[in-house]
Amino acid sequence: MFQFGFNMFHEISRPFNMTYKCYSVSMLPGNERQDVERGGKIIMPPSALEQLTRLNIEYPMIFKLTNKKTKRVTHCGVLEFVADEGRVYLPHWMMTNLVVEEGALLQIESVSLPVATFSKFQPLSEDFLDITNPKAVLENCLRNFSCLTTGDVIAIKYNSKVYELCVLETKPGNAVIIIECDMNVEFAPPVGYKEEERIPHDDGGNSMGMDEDPSNMMPEPSGFIAFSGEGNRLDGKKKKLISESDSEPSASQSRQPYVRGIPDYDYVIGTLRFIRNSRPPSAKEETPSEPFTAFKGEGFTLRNTKPKN
């Protein structure tokens, strides 16, 4: 005989669908709740938790918020169940997306969303480019969110400054869960951002000016040069005539040795300098000095000489 228990079959979850008056977090009694403003979760009344428990709602709890007047829709999670009965409290950016006023009616229903694999954001201000590692900052801020909806403008806070980002695209759906997921993130250029146009430089076919050997650009060495004279044989005979092609010295032989200059102690890491030969400054006219003459002083003797009569 088979024995059937009451809990043999799993209970089928039923949808949650209620209408509440919505208010911003600033209207929530008690201490200021900045954690709600920085995330994508709402505060619901305790009666909603009791009803969700009876309906056997799947976790994590994700809700669809609908403003029937403006037909605007977004999705969110729930942070706490401490709101007054008949009220829900939303972050300011969420109320802006829904175009809803304080105390307006808002439909809230439970939904099941796919797990996110890709999302693309567009900053609404060029100030977002000042952040050194935007992906790391966004990843840290999205920990306060449960889901993302395409078309929403979310607000994140970093270094006491609020940045607004538009969700341009989400995959695999227009609304996705971002809890415990591996999501690829991309950024579009900020609104109003224009890249600087690069003006091409015409340098006579040499685009970078680096085809020439740097040693050819160095000044000619001055001073004593060893073995710069002509060669002679001990027997007095002349050197054999060589071909014209052999008589031309190669570029490596005729080139003067490379003279190392003074290092640039003011060099800044990450910068490049393309050195060009500049016209040397004109030397100031110097007054000609008297030629050197050795022993031109007066002579003296150690003995006193008698004057001649």
The model carries a pTM of 0.60
Question: Which structure tokens are listed for 251?
Answer: 């570029």
CA distances from 185 to 118, 144, 188 (A): 6, 17, 10
Q: Strand order of the sheet with strand 161-171?
A: 153-158, 161-171, 118-123, 184-187
Residue 247: φ, ψ to 5°: -70, -25
| 3-state SS assignment for residue 134 | helix
Average of per-residue pLDDT values in the chain? 80
Token readout for 61 is 């709890």
Q: For the ranges 63-67, 116-120, 170-174, 300-304, which has the lowest average pLDDT?
A: 300-304
Q: How confident is the model at residue 155 (pLDDT cuts 50, 70, 90)?
A: very high
Q: Among 15-29, 60-74, 248-262, whose mean pLDDT is lowest? A: 248-262
Whose CA is closest to 119, among 75, 163, 178, 70? 178
Residue 1 has pLDDT above 50, yes or no: no
Closest CA to 21 of 82, 85, 76: 85
pLDDT at site 29 = 81
> Residue 206: what are its φ and ψ, rounded to 5°?
-105, 95
Domains of the chain and CATH, by start: 17-111 (2.40.40.50), 118-187 (3.10.330.10)
pLDDT for residue 47 is more than 80: yes
**pLDDT (tens digit, 9 = 90+) per residue, 192-247?**
888 777 666 555 545 444 555 666 666 666 667 777 777 777 777 776 655 555 55
CB 40 within 8 A of CB 91: yes
How far CA 307 is from CA of 158, 180, 183, 299, in Å, comes to 105, 120, 116, 17
